[in-house]
Structure formats: structure tokens, C-alpha cells
Structure 1
Amino acid sequence: MTSTPVQVRQFDSRDPAAIHDFLSATYDPRLRLHSRNNYRLTHRRVDAGPFALATTRQTGQLDIGATTLDGLVLGRTRTARVDRGCAGSANRFGPGEVFLVTRPAEPCTVRWHPGEVELCVLDLSVLEQVATAAPARRPGRIRFTDLGPADAALARQWRNTTSFVSDVVLNSPTASAQPLVIGNAARMLAAAALAVFPNTAFTEPTAADRHDASTATLRRAITFMEEYADRDISAADVAAAAGVSLRAVQLAFRRHRGTTPMAYLRRIRLARAHHDLLRADPRQETVSAIASRWGFASHSRFTARYHASYGVPPRETLHA
């Protein structure tokens, strides 16, 4: 398994030209900016490949015109007030609110008042790893249908998800170097985005899906998982390998195993981690390193899951 480079970029400037160049290079090459006097921008961005998380703070007032933003851009105001116009819709977001900056590839205008904002930029392909947009076997791209703010409960769900990814995944050198951890985190963010904001994702199985959710499909899916458990594979990859739709493979696991494809994959990876713990030299390996290698970012969650399956904590297996 190869390492996934996680890059941290810091920016702090009062120079309008430098600020424009930085934001244009980071978000949209055709970005238009206008700021008032005594303006300062501080920006910290952690880029993990399929997603990026940023915390950005500014003084004064900044007017932004964006033609097209790469990926799905989601915002949460910490202390700032943000006015956003997009697709004929105008909204004002206050501290604590969670919102879509714009729909992918749609222009928008933003007036950002003094304060701090969190941003998450998510590659659109990750959405298709966790859901599809229509009943067809080759559906189109998922589209978001509402540009208003998320309600309080869903905003809290988004905040908890991004906090987990930032604190447990990106702030851990051991975890952030592992492609399985980064892939799982990206899909966690995608699933949260689809749960928080109304969209065209289609999750109910069709008659064809129900027919395809057979034991033969299940066997093909499990064979693929067993062979590629050390790779960053998604449920969509499993479905493609089994020759069925994403909904069909999800239904097959629910029908015949009482679980989901990704939960079953976690069982396989837990068994691989158990094997590595049995064979590892405790002077050279740690539980956290082995857990991260198999996609488990949280040490406490891995320990609890391992103890429930094997009756002892993983540290005891490592030192046996």
C-alpha cells in the first residue's frame, strides 16, 4: 500500500494581489475579488487528495465572484456572516450555520464579512462511491437541489463529521499517511454531505436490483473484497467487480449477510489486522500503525471493535 500525501498549506497576507493569486490558484482561476482597506486573510488548508479541509479568517469585508469551483464546496461559519447568491437564490448565513457555497460548476457571488469560516472541498467522484443519482445502471451525476442552510440537527451532524476527520484522521501522522484511512474519510464526508443537503441521490432498489441481489452476486463481491482488501476500494468498486449496480450489491449484503458491503469489508480488514498483530515484533510495530494500515483511523474505536471480536485488547495480542 502506498502513502497518500497530505499537504498542509498556510497563508497569511494583507497584500490584495497576493490574496487574489492565492485564492485563485486554490479555488477558481477566474475568481474576482474586491476588499476594503486594512484587509487581512489567514488561511490554513489541509489537502488530502479526494478532499480538503480549510479554516480561513479575514478582517474587513471581501466580495467574491466565482465562475466555477472545482468539486463540491461546503461551508460552516464560525464567527463570520456570509451573504451568498447563486442560481437566483440569495441567502445570508450566520455563525454556526452550514451551507453549500454553490452547486458544482455554477457561478456564485459571496460577500464575506469579518470573521472565520470553515470550508470542505470534496471531489465529486467520491459522491458516486456512496450513492447513485437514478435507477439506471449507469446513472448521471448527483445534483443538489436546495441552496438553503442545513437545519440545526443536520448542521451538528456535519460539524461532528468534519471534526472527526480533522482531529482523528488528519492530525494523526500515522493515520493520514494511509490511503485506506483517507479513502474512508472521503466517503464519510460524502455520505454526510448527501445526508445533510437535499439531492437527487437514488437509494431504493429497483426490480432489476432485487433480482441481481443473489448469492452469486454476494460470492463475486466477497471474492473481490478478499483479494483487494489492502486497496482503497469503495462499495461502487465492489458493485462493478460483481457486475451489478451499487444498490444491488448493497441489497445482496443486507439480504444474505445482514450487513453492508463496507461493514463486511471492515470485518475482513479487522481479521488482516489481527493476523499482523500476531506476527508483528512489538519492538518495531505499534497497534496504531497496524490499525491505520488497515483503514482504522480511531485507536479507541479499533480497540473496542477488536476486543469485541477477539476477546482481548489488540495490545495484548501484539505483546503475546
Structure 2
Amino acid sequence: MSSAARDNHLAWAQGEENATPEPVGVTVLRAVSSDEAEDVVSRIFLPNQVRALEPGPVNMSLVAMRVGATTVGQLAYGRHLRLLTDEATHLHVNTPVSGSVVSRAGGSEPLTTTNRSAAVFAPGAPAEIEWSADAAQLCVMVPHSTLQDELEALVDREVKEPFRLPFHMSLDTSQGRVWRSMVNLLSEELSTRGRMLSHPAAERQVERTLIDALLLGHVQSHTEALDRSASPVLPSTIARAVELLNDHPEEAWSTTTLARAVHVSLRSLQNGFIRHLGKPPMTYLRELRLTRIRQDLEEASVMTTTVESVAYAWGMVHMGRFAAAYRQAFGELPSQTLKRLPA
């Protein structure tokens, strides 16, 4: 990568005005000294200092990318060390994928995390993070304004008071397992160098799902508002939501964006779909997309069409999961449908 390209890759993470607005894919960076490691992490995430806790060089690797306004990166130092950060301006969530990490933030008690837990760093406080030599973490940085907008969409009102996110997130709870699934997805995406998230619609959908998983599973200050039973949804509202999904199933819908489009709360929409259709809105959307994909594959030629191109066109962005869902729905793989010649 040229020095100019490298600088532009790093610029998007800091929101610099001269950064190219188009998606720039995955950045892969390495460092063999503390100074180099500090510079890389400072430019992707936030200013920091590295303090070695054992002799030998740093063997840092960082694979990072932008997902909408959110920055994600898998970071490892290959050395037992302590990281001291400046006060964060965004929210950071660090989830170990290997090894163990001991974290402190703003004078908190030390928190030890492994692949069964995560540390959530709120804006406005410095952090101290001790990495084992074999530790690697999936680090997520979300702008506070992005969190605020999504929380207001979830609770269906303006949120003026600060919202609290506990420092420790267990991944053994039902909500934590949702976050774990998102970590696995992002780790896989980084390892394949951003192949799925190179599609803009997929990028938008993954970011919304990631933030919803964090807010619904971890925001405690608005738990009552998030969990409050909503008033019944009129069938006309559900009919409008169904119409939108049927007219535009290829769009990067989430439950939040669909609820916003029909002017009801997220809970109302969920309850209404289950009450009137017997399934959540995203299950309805997945089944609708599978049906449209099957219709296209039955009419297409294997000489001019690929399964992947049809799936992407209808908003299916994870090929492995898509193929499994397709086979479960229709009793054959999508490639088998495509290979059958039209009558």
C-alpha cells in the first residue's frame, strides 16, 4: 500500500475532513516497536501509550475497517504489555477472541475478560488495559451520536438524559450470545478482507444490527423503555410494513428502520408481526427474499448468472448462512436450482 493510500485508510477512522467518503475496505497494519504500535492505534482508534511488561519486541497486528460510522478492528500485540489510553470520545467495546485481558476505566475496579466476556468503555474516561502475550481482541468504536440516534429509534422518543452502559458484558446470557455472534461475523469478515461488507447495503445492515445488539442487550438506563409492552399495532400498520418489505426486499432493512418507516415503536412492530403473521419482521423478510431468489434462479442460466449475484441483489449478504437457509426452505442448494434448465 502506498503511503498516500495508507494515510487515507487511517484518516477515515478519525473522521478527518479530507478522508475519502467512499468505502475503503480493510486496512492491515503491523508494528515491531512500541512507538510504531502507539502511532497505529492512535490513528485508528485513540491516543495511547504502550508499556512493555516483558522483554522483547512488540509484534503488533491490526486488521481494521469502517462499517458505516463504526470502526472495527482485530488487534493483537504478541507481547505481555499494558496499554494506557487518553480519554475516549466515542464508545469502545473490546471483546477478546483469544487470551485474557485486564481492563480499568476511569478508576473502576479491574475487569478480567476472556472470550466469554467483553469490556465496554464509555466516552469521557481514560483506560488501562493489560494484554496477555496471546491476547487478541475484536475492538469496536461507535460514535456517541450514532448510539444516541439508534437508541431514540428503539425507544421511539427523544433521549435527553445520559444512557449508561455497564463496564462488564457477559457473553453467556441470551443478549450476550447475540453480541458474540456479531463478533464472530466481524472477525470472519476481517479475516476475508471485507468481501461481504464491500457491498454498501450489507455494510449499513450490519452496522445497524451491531448497534441494536449492543443497545438492546446492554443499555441499563433505558431498560424499562426498551422492554415496555407497547400498545397493540393496528393491522393497517402491519399491512403497510408488509407492503414496504414486498416492494423493496433488497433494501438494508432492520426492525428499527422498518418501525421508523411506518411510524411505530420497535416493540409495537415486533408484537404486531408476531400477532398477525406469526413471525418477526426480519423472519418474514428473509423468507420473502428466499422466495424471490428462487424465482430468479429458476428463470436464469448458469452460463450468465451466479448464485452470489442473485443473492446479493436481493439483500442476502452472508453466503454460508444464505445457502443453509435456502436448503432448509426448498430442500436443495441454490446452485442446484440454478443448474436446472428452464422448461
Quickly name the TM-score band, shorter chain normalised. Answer: 0.7 to 0.9
**Contact residue 256 and residue 266 of structure 2 kept, 8 A:** yes
Distance in 1 between residues matched to 2:234 and 2:29, nearest whole Å: 53
Partner of 1:176: 197
Higher relative contact order (CA 8 A, sep 6+): 1
Question: Cα–Cα, structure 1 residues 174 and 135, in superposed 2: closer, same or farther, change >3 Å?
Answer: closer
The residue type paired with residue 301 of structure 2 is: D
Match of 2:103 among 71, 83, 100: 83
Partner of 1:98: 117
Distance in 2 between residues matched to 1:241 and 1:265, nearest whole Å: 15
Partner of 1:14: 32
Q: Kindly provide the CA deviation profile for residues 87-134 of structure 1, in whole angstroms up to 9, marking residues without a partner as x.
A: x4222315435222412x231321324422212315367767986688
Tell me the CA shift for residue 253 of structure 1.
0.8
Partner of 1:246: 266
Q: Kindly provide the CA deviation profile for residues 191-227 of structure 1, in whole angstroms up to 9, marking residues without a partner as x.
A: 5434654533443344xx424x111111211222233
Q: Provide TM-score, normalisation by structure 2.
A: 0.75
Partner of 2:188: 167
The residue type paired with residue 227 of structure 2 is: E
Identity %: 21
Q: How does 1:1-320 map to 2 (within 5 A)?
A: 5=23, 7-28=25-46, 31-36=47-52, 38-50=56-68, 51=70, 52-76=72-96, 78-86=98-106, 88-103=107-122, 105-115=123-133, 116-121=135-140, 123=142, 137-139=157-159, 143-148=163-168, 150=170, 152=172, 158-167=179-188, 171=192, 175-194=196-215, 197=218, 199=220, 200-201=222-223, 202-206=225-229, 209-211=230-232, 213-320=233-340
Distance in 2 between residues matched to 1:174 and 1:33, nearest whole Å: 33
Distance in 1 between residues matched to 2:34 and 2:190, nearest whole Å: 34
Question: Cα–Cα, structure 1 residues 263 and 48, in superposed 2: closer, same or farther, change >3 Å?
Answer: farther
Q: Provide TM-score, normalisation by structure 1.
A: 0.79
Tell me the CA shift for residue 230 of structure 1.
1.9
Question: Cα–Cα, structure 1 residues 34 and 55, in superposed 2: closer, same or farther, change >3 Å?
Answer: closer
Distance in 1 between residues matched to 2:289 and 2:281, nearest whole Å: 12
My pick for the range that moved more, 181-190 or 260-269, is 181-190
Q: Kindly provide the CA deviation profile for residues 254-295 of structure 1, in whole angstroms up to 9, marking residues without a partner as x.
A: 111111121222122222212321333312322233224433
SS in 2 for 1:203: helix
Question: Cα–Cα, structure 1 residues 27 and 150, in superposed 2: closer, same or farther, change >3 Å?
Answer: same
Distance in 2 between residues matched to 1:309 and 1:127, nearest whole Å: 35
SS in 2 for 1:303: helix
Tell me the CA shift for residue 145 of structure 1.
3.7
Q: Kindly provide the CA deviation profile for residues 9-60 of structure 1, in whole angstroms up to 9, marking residues without a partner as x.
A: 22222344432222111112xx241424744151222314234231322424
Gaps of 5+ in 2: 1-21
Distance in 2 between residues matched to 1:20 and 1:302, nearest whole Å: 40
The residue type paired with residue 231 of structure 2 is: R
My pick for the range that moved more, 272-281 or 150-159, is 150-159
**Contact residue 74 and residue 99 of structure 1 kept, 8 A:** yes
**Contact residue 39 and residue 61 of structure 1 kept, 8 A:** no
Question: Cα–Cα, structure 1 residues 311 and 117, in superposed 2: closer, same or farther, change >3 Å?
Answer: closer
My pick for the range that moved more, 249-258 or 286-295, is 286-295
SS in 2 for 1:284: coil
Gaps of 5+ in 1: none
Distance in 2 between residues matched to 1:89 and 1:309, nearest whole Å: 49
Q: Where do 4+ consecutive residues of structure 1 move more than 6 Å? A: 128-131
Q: Kindly provide the CA deviation profile for residues 170-208 of structure 1, in whole angstroms up to 9, marking residues without a partner as x.
A: 6286633333433443344335434654533443344xx
